Amino acid sequence: MTRLMHRSLLSTPPVATSARGIEIFDADGRAYIDASGGAAVSCLGHGHPAVLDAMRRQMEAVAYAHTSFFTTEAAERLGELLIEDAPEGLEYVYLVSGGSEAVEAALKMARQYFVEIGQPQRRHIIARRQSYHGNTLGALATGGNEWRRQQFRPLLIETHHIDPCFSYRFREEGETDEQYAARAAGALEEKILELGPDTVLAFVAETVVGATAGAVPPVADYFRRIREICDRYGILLILDEVMCGMGRTGSLHACEQEGIAPDLMTIAKGLGGGYQPIGAVMVSGKIYDAIRAGSGFFQHGHTYMGHPMAAAAAVAVLETIRGDNLLTNVRAMGDLLDERLRARFGNHHHVGDIRGRGLFRAIELVEDRATKRPFAPARKVHAAIKKEAMARGLMVYPMGGTIDGARGDHVLLAPPFIVKPEDIDRIVERLGEAVDAVI
Ligand code: PLP
């Protein structure tokens, strides 16, 4: 009997005993293709020698040093590397241990910035429905996934949610990209005016929406308009690239493809590639300079922030992505995955949408393609597909069954950046069988 309290208290998952490349093996010797990188984490696959070596060397040099006493070469190097390729204006890096911690730190940094520059009345956070920003209370309050939030609502700080930019679900008949971008971004301006522009602190959004809605990219021009609106009212733009960042969509940061830069950006998951838990907030010079000129101290901090082992792993991950030119493979294999998904599911009567960027792709499953009506949440289509996929040696990341009704079940794919064409074929073939077994 297990003494671990697992995610589900009703079942215990298989025991993973080894992992190499794009596969994880369980205690019975069964192999699973990691077509979701866990939860879009394992960007280099498993057992990568360069990362293991870097971690071993770091462990022998210094495994831990508290950041109130020391910095380390690994952490400093990671800061340098991240800033070398950062979106314009992002000049500093604050290291934490994961995505939720990064979001919490970004929210607090935004608030402290306004307090320090003499605008303490700014307190409202605006975010989007059908988003996920983490499971700690501040991050959960920011996210717009009602299924995750509902029972904790009395504990959550007040946050204001607008509709996401989600073409398949919210674009009106006959609307062009431009018209839809203007309407979707316009919702932010309306909310700002309703709350009072000088009371709003920040707008938080995933550049490409991840787990909650399934690899939903914005339409062209949406984020350019969002950036303009934030600037017009002096509001900070926080982009959450915990899931879609670090190369996943084919550029190191997803916002590069939108032609804008945020004031604060959160990254995690692919940053450590699963080798170590690590996240970061990338901070604009404007915010850093204001806090430096003010109190000179960011009033936050975690025991494991800037952990040397995690930093060493992240340095090795980033150097491998660069050195092995993996973003080129992400783009090429991403296009191939899209092509194969369209060939397999394009005419499937329960697949309403096929979308995504790079190696961040999803299919959306609906009961009725014509009306886009989702399956009833009680059918738990996503859970059944996950089970069927696992039975076929395939890890995918399905989600669905929300109480907001405005989206269906989806299956998210986020394979490691090292996938080859034959892997893509095996992934789509097994996913096809799993979907057909359920709907
Ligand atoms: N933000 C986004 C966009 C995420 O997808 C996630 C996790 O899925 C988080 C934040 C939270 O990250 P973590 O689970 O590392 O706390």
* pLDDT tens column, 265-283: 999 999 999 999 999 999 9
CB count within 10 Å of CB 168 equals 17
Q: Which of 404, 388, 395 is nearest to 439 (CA)?
A: 388
- Kindly state the greatest CA–CA separation across the chain: 62
- The Å distance, Cα 104 to ligand 1 centre, comes to 11
Which atom of ligand 1 is nearest the CA belonging to 209?
Answer: 3
Residues whose beta carbon lies within 6 Å of some atom of ligand 1: 39, 98-100, 103, 132-134, 206, 210-211, 240, 242-243, 268
Give the CB-side neighbour count of residue 235, counting CA atoms within 13 A: 31
Substitution site in 36, 128, 130, 133 for ligand 1 pocket (most atoms within 8 Å of beta carbon): 133
Q: What is the dihedral of CA 76, 88, 356, 189, to 10 degrees?
A: 120
Q: How far apart are CA 366 and CA 98, in angstroms?
A: 33
* pLDDT tens column, 121-156: 999 999 999 999 999 999 999 999 888 999 999 999
Substitution site in 243, 249, 397 for ligand 1 pocket (most atoms within 8 Å of beta carbon): 243
* pLDDT tens column, 2-56: 999 999 999 999 999 999 999 999 999 999 999 999 999 999 999 999 999 999 9
The residue count for the chain:
439
Q: Are 245 and 234 in contact (CB under 8 A)?
A: no
Q: Which domains does the chain have, with CATH numbers?
A: 16-47+325-438 (3.90.1150.10), 52-323 (3.40.640.10)
pLDDT at 63 over 60: yes
Atom 15 of ligand 1 has which residue's CA nearest to it?
Answer: 99
**Assembly ipTM:** 0.99
Q: What is the DSSP string of 22-42?
A: TEEEETT--EEEETTHHHHT-
What percentage of the chain reaches a pLDDT higher than 70?
Answer: 99
The whole-number average pLDDT for the span 63-81 is 98
Q: Which of 355, 339, 345 is nearest to 167 (CA)?
A: 355
- Going by pLDDT thresholds of 50, 70 and 90, the confidence category of residue 58 is very high
Q: Cα 349–350–356 angle (5° rounding)? A: 110
pLDDT at 66 over 60: yes
pLDDT at 68 over 80: yes
The whole-number average pLDDT for the span 332-360 is 97
Give the bridge partners for 325, in sequence order: none
* pLDDT tens column, 396-439: 999 986 656 567 899 999 999 999 999 999 999 999 999 999 99
Phi, psi torsion values for 389, nearest 5 degrees: -65, -45
0.90 surpassed by pTM:
yes
The whole-number average pLDDT for the span 241-262 is 98
Phi, psi torsion values for 258, nearest 5 degrees: -95, -10
Q: What is the mean pLDDT of the chain?
A: 96
pLDDT for 146: 86
Write the single-letter amino acid at 153.
R
Q: Are 311 and 62 in contact (CB under 8 A)?
A: no
- The Å distance, Cα 359 to ligand 1 centre, comes to 18
Q: Which of 315, 330, 239 is nearest to 271 (CA)?
A: 315
Q: How far apart are CA 216 and CA 207, in angstroms?
A: 9
DSSP 21: B
- Going by pLDDT thresholds of 50, 70 and 90, the confidence category of residue 377 is confident
- The Å distance, Cα 4 to ligand 1 centre, comes to 22
Q: Which two tokens stand for residue 240?
A: 């959450």
pLDDT for 401: 63
Q: Could you give the 3-state DSSP secondary structure of residue 293?
A: helix
pLDDT for 426: 98
- The Å distance, Cα 37 to ligand 1 centre, comes to 14
